[in-house]
Structure 1
Protein backbone atom coordinates (compact mmCIF):
# COMPACT_ATOMS: atom_id res chain seq x y z
CA UNK A 1 0.00 0.00 0.00
CA UNK A 2 1.32 3.43 -0.95
CA UNK A 3 1.16 5.88 1.95
CA UNK A 4 1.84 9.58 1.42
CA UNK A 5 1.99 12.69 3.56
CA UNK A 6 0.16 15.59 1.95
CA UNK A 7 -1.61 18.86 2.67
CA UNK A 8 -5.17 18.33 3.92
CA UNK A 9 -8.09 18.90 1.57
CA UNK A 10 -11.74 19.75 2.33
CA UNK A 11 -12.84 16.08 2.34
CA UNK A 12 -10.04 15.24 4.78
CA UNK A 13 -11.46 17.60 7.39
CA UNK A 14 -14.84 15.86 7.03
CA UNK A 15 -13.14 12.52 7.77
CA UNK A 16 -11.13 13.92 10.69
CA UNK A 17 -14.26 15.46 12.20
CA UNK A 18 -15.96 12.06 12.13
CA UNK A 19 -13.12 10.56 14.21
CA UNK A 20 -13.68 13.04 17.08
CA UNK A 21 -16.85 11.79 18.73
CA UNK A 22 -17.10 13.67 22.02
CA UNK A 23 -15.85 16.66 23.99
CA UNK A 24 -13.19 14.71 25.89
CA UNK A 25 -11.75 13.21 22.68
CA UNK A 26 -11.72 16.68 21.11
CA UNK A 27 -9.91 18.27 24.04
CA UNK A 28 -7.33 15.48 24.27
CA UNK A 29 -6.64 15.67 20.54
CA UNK A 30 -6.83 19.36 19.73
CA UNK A 31 -6.57 21.15 23.08
CA UNK A 32 -8.83 23.74 24.70
CA UNK A 33 -8.89 26.11 21.71
CA UNK A 34 -11.06 23.76 19.63
CA UNK A 35 -14.66 23.66 20.88
CA UNK A 36 -16.89 20.62 20.62
CA UNK A 37 -18.99 20.20 18.66
CA UNK A 38 -17.35 21.87 15.69
CA UNK A 39 -18.06 22.04 11.98
CA UNK A 40 -15.59 20.22 9.75
CA UNK A 41 -15.45 23.32 7.55
CA UNK A 42 -14.11 25.27 10.55
CA UNK A 43 -11.24 22.87 11.27
CA UNK A 44 -8.61 24.56 9.06
CA UNK A 45 -9.11 27.79 10.99
CA UNK A 46 -9.55 26.14 14.40
CA UNK A 47 -6.36 24.10 13.97
CA UNK A 48 -4.25 26.95 12.57
CA UNK A 49 -0.95 27.32 14.43
CA UNK A 50 1.44 30.21 13.91
CA UNK A 51 4.42 28.98 11.89
CA UNK A 52 2.76 25.57 11.80
CA UNK A 53 2.00 23.03 9.11
CA UNK A 54 -0.81 20.46 8.88
CA UNK A 55 -0.58 17.14 7.09
CA UNK A 56 -2.72 14.14 6.27
CA UNK A 57 -1.44 10.64 5.84
CA UNK A 58 -3.28 9.20 2.87
CA UNK A 59 -3.55 5.66 1.58
CA UNK A 60 -3.30 4.42 -2.00
CA UNK A 61 -6.91 5.58 -2.62
CA UNK A 62 -5.87 9.10 -1.46
CA UNK A 63 -8.17 8.67 1.57
CA UNK A 64 -6.99 10.45 4.73
CA UNK A 65 -6.14 7.86 7.41
CA UNK A 66 -4.24 10.14 9.79
CA UNK A 67 -3.56 13.77 10.62
CA UNK A 68 -0.82 15.65 12.44
CA UNK A 69 0.87 19.02 12.71
CA UNK A 70 4.20 20.55 13.57
CA UNK A 71 5.25 24.02 14.59
CA UNK A 72 8.22 25.88 16.00
CA UNK A 73 8.91 24.77 19.55
CA UNK A 74 11.10 26.08 22.33
CA UNK A 75 14.79 26.79 21.81
CA UNK A 76 14.92 25.87 18.13
CA UNK A 77 13.04 22.59 18.48
CA UNK A 78 10.15 21.54 16.28
CA UNK A 79 7.03 20.34 18.12
CA UNK A 80 4.65 17.75 16.68
CA UNK A 81 1.08 17.44 17.86
CA UNK A 82 -2.60 16.94 17.18
CA UNK A 83 -1.86 13.47 15.91
CA UNK A 84 -4.96 11.41 15.19
CA UNK A 85 -5.53 8.17 13.30
CA UNK A 86 -8.73 6.91 11.69
CA UNK A 87 -10.43 4.45 14.07
CA UNK A 88 -10.33 1.78 11.33
CA UNK A 89 -6.55 2.14 11.05
CA UNK A 90 -5.63 2.08 14.75
CA UNK A 91 -3.42 -0.79 15.83
CA UNK A 92 -2.16 -1.44 12.28
CA UNK A 93 1.06 0.62 12.36
CA UNK A 94 -0.53 3.65 10.72
CA UNK A 95 0.30 5.85 13.71
CA UNK A 96 3.97 4.87 13.40
CA UNK A 97 3.96 5.69 9.68
CA UNK A 98 2.33 9.06 10.32
CA UNK A 99 4.81 9.93 13.07
CA UNK A 100 7.82 8.86 11.01
CA UNK A 101 6.73 10.85 7.97
CA UNK A 102 5.66 13.86 10.05
CA UNK A 103 8.97 13.94 11.94
CA UNK A 104 10.96 13.64 8.71
CA UNK A 105 8.94 16.48 7.14
CA UNK A 106 9.28 18.63 10.27
CA UNK A 107 13.02 18.05 10.43
CA UNK A 108 13.39 18.85 6.72
CA UNK A 109 11.19 21.97 6.86
CA UNK A 110 12.41 23.43 10.13
CA UNK A 111 16.01 22.21 10.18
CA UNK A 112 15.60 21.59 13.90
CA UNK A 113 17.97 19.43 15.89
CA UNK A 114 15.29 18.44 18.40
CA UNK A 115 11.72 17.15 18.02
CA UNK A 116 9.31 17.45 20.96
CA UNK A 117 5.75 16.35 21.71
CA UNK A 118 3.29 15.93 24.56
CA UNK A 119 1.31 12.80 25.34
CA UNK A 120 -1.28 12.05 27.99
CA UNK A 121 0.17 9.85 30.72
CA UNK A 122 -2.68 7.36 30.37
CA UNK A 123 -2.21 7.00 26.60
CA UNK A 124 0.11 4.03 26.95
CA UNK A 125 -0.06 3.03 23.28
CA UNK A 126 1.12 6.47 22.12
CA UNK A 127 3.74 6.68 24.87
CA UNK A 128 5.12 3.30 23.82
CA UNK A 129 5.19 4.35 20.16
CA UNK A 130 7.02 7.60 20.88
CA UNK A 131 9.55 5.83 23.10
CA UNK A 132 10.22 3.31 20.33
CA UNK A 133 10.89 6.25 17.98
CA UNK A 134 13.63 7.56 20.27
CA UNK A 135 11.69 10.03 22.44
CA UNK A 136 12.51 10.37 26.14
CA UNK A 137 10.40 11.92 28.88
CA UNK A 138 11.58 15.31 30.15
CA UNK A 139 10.25 15.27 33.73
CA UNK A 140 10.86 18.98 34.36
CA UNK A 141 8.51 19.90 31.48
CA UNK A 142 5.85 17.27 32.25
CA UNK A 143 2.66 17.76 34.27
CA UNK A 144 0.40 15.47 36.26
CA UNK A 145 -1.59 14.74 33.09
CA UNK A 146 0.93 15.18 30.26
CA UNK A 147 4.38 13.85 29.54
CA UNK A 148 6.70 16.14 27.61
CA UNK A 149 8.97 14.08 25.36
CA UNK A 150 12.01 15.03 23.32
CA UNK A 151 14.33 13.40 20.82
CA UNK A 152 17.32 14.62 18.92
CA UNK A 153 16.29 14.84 15.27
CA UNK A 154 19.30 12.87 14.07
CA UNK A 155 18.53 10.08 16.60
CA UNK A 156 14.94 9.94 15.38
CA UNK A 157 16.17 9.79 11.78
CA UNK A 158 18.49 6.88 12.66
CA UNK A 159 15.62 5.04 14.40
CA UNK A 160 13.38 5.50 11.38
CA UNK A 161 16.10 4.57 8.88
CA UNK A 162 17.09 1.45 10.82
CA UNK A 163 13.53 0.16 10.57
CA UNK A 164 13.17 0.70 6.82
Structure 2
Protein backbone atom coordinates (compact mmCIF):
# COMPACT_ATOMS: atom_id res chain seq x y z
CA UNK A 1 0.00 0.00 0.00
CA UNK A 2 1.19 3.45 -0.82
CA UNK A 3 -0.16 6.93 -1.38
CA UNK A 4 -1.47 7.48 -4.89
CA UNK A 5 0.65 9.36 -7.39
CA UNK A 6 -0.45 11.36 -10.43
CA UNK A 7 0.00 8.33 -12.73
CA UNK A 8 -2.17 6.22 -10.40
CA UNK A 9 -5.06 8.66 -10.70
CA UNK A 10 -4.67 8.71 -14.49
CA UNK A 11 -4.86 4.89 -14.54
CA UNK A 12 -7.76 4.86 -12.07
CA UNK A 13 -9.70 7.11 -14.44
CA UNK A 14 -9.64 4.38 -17.06
CA UNK A 15 -11.07 1.77 -14.67
CA UNK A 16 -14.45 3.54 -14.51
CA UNK A 17 -16.16 3.03 -17.86
CA UNK A 18 -19.55 4.72 -17.62
CA UNK A 19 -21.86 6.85 -15.50
CA UNK A 20 -23.51 3.87 -13.80
CA UNK A 21 -20.22 2.32 -12.68
CA UNK A 22 -18.98 5.76 -11.58
CA UNK A 23 -22.05 6.28 -9.39
CA UNK A 24 -21.74 2.82 -7.84
CA UNK A 25 -18.04 3.28 -7.13
CA UNK A 26 -17.69 6.91 -6.07
CA UNK A 27 -21.18 8.11 -5.24
CA UNK A 28 -23.24 10.98 -6.64
CA UNK A 29 -20.69 13.76 -6.10
CA UNK A 30 -18.33 12.45 -8.82
CA UNK A 31 -19.95 13.07 -12.19
CA UNK A 32 -19.07 11.04 -15.27
CA UNK A 33 -17.25 11.78 -17.44
CA UNK A 34 -14.55 13.27 -15.26
CA UNK A 35 -11.02 14.43 -15.96
CA UNK A 36 -8.67 11.73 -14.61
CA UNK A 37 -6.02 14.35 -13.89
CA UNK A 38 -8.50 15.94 -11.44
CA UNK A 39 -9.37 12.71 -9.60
CA UNK A 40 -7.20 13.48 -6.60
CA UNK A 41 -9.14 16.70 -6.08
CA UNK A 42 -12.52 15.19 -7.01
CA UNK A 43 -12.14 12.28 -4.57
CA UNK A 44 -10.92 14.44 -1.69
CA UNK A 45 -12.98 14.10 1.47
CA UNK A 46 -12.28 15.85 4.76
CA UNK A 47 -10.15 13.52 6.84
CA UNK A 48 -9.94 10.86 4.11
CA UNK A 49 -6.88 8.72 3.52
CA UNK A 50 -6.35 7.36 0.00
CA UNK A 51 -4.18 4.38 -0.90
CA UNK A 52 -3.28 2.29 -3.90
CA UNK A 53 -2.30 -1.34 -3.83
CA UNK A 54 0.59 -2.30 -6.07
CA UNK A 55 3.38 -4.80 -6.21
CA UNK A 56 6.47 -2.74 -5.54
CA UNK A 57 6.74 0.38 -7.68
CA UNK A 58 4.54 -1.17 -10.37
CA UNK A 59 1.33 0.47 -11.48
CA UNK A 60 -1.64 0.39 -9.15
CA UNK A 61 -3.83 -2.70 -9.04
CA UNK A 62 -6.38 -1.32 -6.61
CA UNK A 63 -7.53 1.87 -4.90
CA UNK A 64 -9.44 2.57 -1.71
CA UNK A 65 -10.09 5.21 0.90
CA UNK A 66 -11.04 5.36 4.52
CA UNK A 67 -12.12 8.06 6.92
CA UNK A 68 -13.24 8.07 10.51
CA UNK A 69 -16.98 7.89 11.13
CA UNK A 70 -16.46 8.27 14.87
CA UNK A 71 -13.73 7.43 17.37
CA UNK A 72 -12.45 3.93 16.67
CA UNK A 73 -14.63 3.41 13.56
CA UNK A 74 -13.08 3.69 10.08
CA UNK A 75 -15.32 3.72 7.03
CA UNK A 76 -13.89 1.99 3.93
CA UNK A 77 -14.95 3.57 0.66
CA UNK A 78 -14.35 3.82 -3.07
CA UNK A 79 -12.80 0.39 -3.26
CA UNK A 80 -11.95 -0.57 -6.83
CA UNK A 81 -9.61 -2.95 -8.64
CA UNK A 82 -8.01 -2.48 -12.02
CA UNK A 83 -9.92 -4.54 -14.62
CA UNK A 84 -6.82 -6.72 -15.10
CA UNK A 85 -6.74 -7.49 -11.35
CA UNK A 86 -10.37 -8.57 -10.96
CA UNK A 87 -11.33 -12.16 -10.29
CA UNK A 88 -8.04 -13.01 -8.57
CA UNK A 89 -9.07 -12.58 -4.93
CA UNK A 90 -7.28 -9.25 -4.66
CA UNK A 91 -10.34 -7.40 -3.30
CA UNK A 92 -9.87 -9.23 -0.02
CA UNK A 93 -6.20 -8.28 0.02
CA UNK A 94 -7.00 -4.64 -0.74
CA UNK A 95 -9.60 -4.45 2.04
CA UNK A 96 -7.31 -6.19 4.51
CA UNK A 97 -4.53 -3.74 3.72
CA UNK A 98 -6.91 -0.78 4.05
CA UNK A 99 -8.07 -2.00 7.46
CA UNK A 100 -4.47 -2.46 8.58
CA UNK A 101 -3.62 1.07 7.43
CA UNK A 102 -6.67 2.48 9.24
CA UNK A 103 -5.63 0.68 12.41
CA UNK A 104 -2.06 1.97 12.14
CA UNK A 105 -3.00 5.54 11.27
CA UNK A 106 -6.06 6.04 13.47
CA UNK A 107 -6.22 3.16 15.94
CA UNK A 108 -9.55 2.02 14.47
CA UNK A 109 -10.77 -1.40 15.53
CA UNK A 110 -14.21 -1.27 13.91
CA UNK A 111 -14.87 -0.87 10.19
CA UNK A 112 -17.90 0.01 8.11
CA UNK A 113 -18.68 0.19 4.41
CA UNK A 114 -21.57 0.36 1.98
CA UNK A 115 -22.13 -2.03 -0.90
CA UNK A 116 -24.86 -2.40 -3.50
CA UNK A 117 -27.05 -5.40 -2.72
CA UNK A 118 -26.58 -6.82 -6.21
CA UNK A 119 -22.78 -6.65 -6.08
CA UNK A 120 -22.42 -10.32 -5.20
CA UNK A 121 -18.62 -10.59 -5.60
CA UNK A 122 -18.10 -7.65 -3.21
CA UNK A 123 -20.66 -9.02 -0.72
CA UNK A 124 -18.88 -12.37 -0.70
CA UNK A 125 -15.54 -10.63 -0.12
CA UNK A 126 -16.83 -8.47 2.73
CA UNK A 127 -18.65 -11.33 4.44
CA UNK A 128 -15.45 -13.38 4.21
CA UNK A 129 -13.66 -10.55 6.02
CA UNK A 130 -16.18 -10.63 8.87
CA UNK A 131 -18.48 -7.79 7.83
CA UNK A 132 -22.18 -8.20 8.61
CA UNK A 133 -25.19 -6.28 7.36
CA UNK A 134 -26.68 -3.64 9.66
CA UNK A 135 -30.38 -3.75 8.66
CA UNK A 136 -31.37 -0.42 10.24
CA UNK A 137 -28.73 1.45 8.24
CA UNK A 138 -29.31 -0.39 4.95
CA UNK A 139 -31.88 0.49 2.29
CA UNK A 140 -33.48 -1.20 -0.72
CA UNK A 141 -30.37 -0.65 -2.88
CA UNK A 142 -27.40 -0.60 -0.50
CA UNK A 143 -26.27 -2.68 2.45
CA UNK A 144 -24.50 -0.90 5.27
CA UNK A 145 -22.00 -3.38 6.70
CA UNK A 146 -19.96 -3.38 9.89
CA UNK A 147 -16.99 -5.36 11.13
CA UNK A 148 -16.96 -5.42 14.91
CA UNK A 149 -13.91 -4.87 17.10
CA UNK A 150 -11.89 -7.83 18.15
CA UNK A 151 -12.34 -9.74 14.90
CA UNK A 152 -8.84 -10.50 13.65
CA UNK A 153 -7.77 -8.88 10.40
CA UNK A 154 -6.71 -11.67 8.02
CA UNK A 155 -3.12 -11.60 6.83
CA UNK A 156 -2.73 -9.83 3.50
CA UNK A 157 -1.46 -11.99 0.66
Q: After superposition, where does 1:2-151 map in structure 2 within 5 Å?
A: 5-74=1-70, 76-151=72-147
SS at match of 1:38: coil
State how far apart, in whole Å, the 2-side matches of 1:87 and 1:153 are.
Answer: 32
Which 10-residue stretch deviates more, 55-64 or 23-32? 55-64
Q: Where has structure 1 moved over 4 Å in runs of 4 or more? A: none
**Contact persistence 2:15–2:83 (CA under 8 A):** yes
C-alpha displacement of 1:59:
2.0
Q: In structure 2, do the counterparts of structure 1 residues 61 and 40 end up closer, same or farther at CA, with 3 Å as the change threshold?
A: same
Take 1:9 and 1:63, find their aligned partners in 2: how far apart are those partners? 10
1:150 deviates by 0.4
Shift of 1:112: 1.8
Could you say if the C-alpha distance between residues 115 and 128 of structure 1 is closer, same or farther in structure 2, counting changes exceeding 3 Å? same
State the alpha-carbon separation in 2 of the partners of residues 53 and 107 from structure 1.
Answer: 12
- The answer to whether the Cα contact below 8 Å between 1:78 and 1:106 also exists between their aligned partners in 2 is yes
Task: Indicate conservation of the 8 Å contact 1:133/1:156, yes or no.
Answer: no
Cα-Cα RMSD:
1.5
Q: TM-score by structure 1 length?
A: 0.91
| 1:61, distance to aligned residue in structure 2 (A) | 4.9
Which structure has greater helix proportion?
1
TM-score of the pair, normalised by structure 2: 0.95
Gaps in structure 2 of 5+ consecutive residues: none
